[in-house]
Amino acid sequence: MPLAVCATPIGNLEDVTLRVLAELREADVVLCEDTRHTSTLLDRYGIAAAARLLSYHEHNEAARTEELLPRLAAGERMALVSDAGLPGVNDPGGRLVSAALERGVAVTVLPGPSAVETALVASGLAGDQYRFLGYLPRREAERKTLWEELRHWPHPAVGFESPKRLPGSLRSLAAVFPDRRVAVCRELTKRFEEVVRGTAAALAASFADPPKGEITLVIDGSPPGAMHVASFDAAVTTVQELVAEGVPRRRAAELAAALSGQSRNALYRASL
């Protein structure tokens, strides 16, 4: 199998699968987001692969993909890993996978640990659906836009956040949905794993200062019966408030229309 996409532990090195270990031993080349990080995993399992490690990260992904495609087409066996989890999901790898498939190169995926699903189950909010948000927006206006998109979303949403920005994101969320259930999942699978559950308002108070470690945030869905058709004037006000926060007017009108049931074009014109 020329290209194997390998999931690696999100924290605890014992979570690696036997299939991934076998592939890392047999691959001609191991593509790593950070060769030092991957070396720690390989050393833990006695895999001698230092000479076979090759960096593959967001800064060289495009150039490296073009370099590797001829080698894959020639039959070289490559294992693709990221620092944690599955490559291609909020990590480098998607470009190489797509390019390999377009060239007719065989690709297989070796599944494993997932911070998203681990946090979702640990939160106690899991259901039959969820929405993955990736990394939460940095700017307050963009965060407010996201909260509006989630206002009537009935299922949990899962996103990543940096410890430094977590207090601000929780305050922003609590300002809109103070009673919405939330779980802050910190250092999943590691020694100091912590899952703190509560309302957005309560967690905003608990995390007034940045914590340490990697953070996965789970936000509960909209409670039943929250859907309603807003008045036209209220919807226009929503557009104007979003625009004041920096959201483009057309995007603001689209969001307000989706939430209120009003005409997007009418809201756009009335908000001018």
> What's the pLDDT tens digit per position in 126-170?
988 999 999 999 999 999 999 988 988 889 999 999 999 999 999
Q: For the ranges 50-54, 164-168, 262-266, which has the lowest average pLDDT?
A: 262-266
Mean pLDDT of 54-59: 95
Using alpha carbons, list the distances in angstroms from residue 235 to 209, 238, 257, 272.
35, 5, 7, 13
pLDDT score, position 225: 57
The single-letter DSSP state of residue 179 is T
Q: For the ranges 2-11, 207-216, 262-271, which has the lowest average pLDDT?
A: 262-271
Report the CATH fold assignment for 115-219.
3.30.950
Residue boundaries of the structural domains of the chain: 3-110, 115-219, 232-271
* Block residue for tokens 């960096």: 55
Tokens of 55: 């960096």
List the 181-186 sheet strands across, edge first: 131-135, 157-161, 215-219, 181-186, 194-199
pLDDT score, position 236: 87
Tokens of 142: 């963009």
Q: Considering the chain, what is the average pLDDT of its residues?
A: 92
Report the CATH fold assignment for 3-110.
Cobalt-precorrin-4 Transmethylase; domain 1 (3.40.1010)
pLDDT score, position 241: 86
What DSSP string describes 208-229?
A: SS--SS-EEEEEPPPPTT----
Cα separation, 110 vs 39, in Å, equals 19
Length of the chain: 272
Angle (CA) 22-25-28 rounded to 5° is 120
Mean pLDDT of 253-263: 79
Q: What are phi and psi of 55, to 5 degrees?
A: -70, 140
Tokens of 171: 């305050």
Q: For the ranges 36-40, 44-48, 260-264, which has the lowest average pLDDT?
A: 260-264
Tokens of 172: 């922003």
pLDDT score, position 227: 47
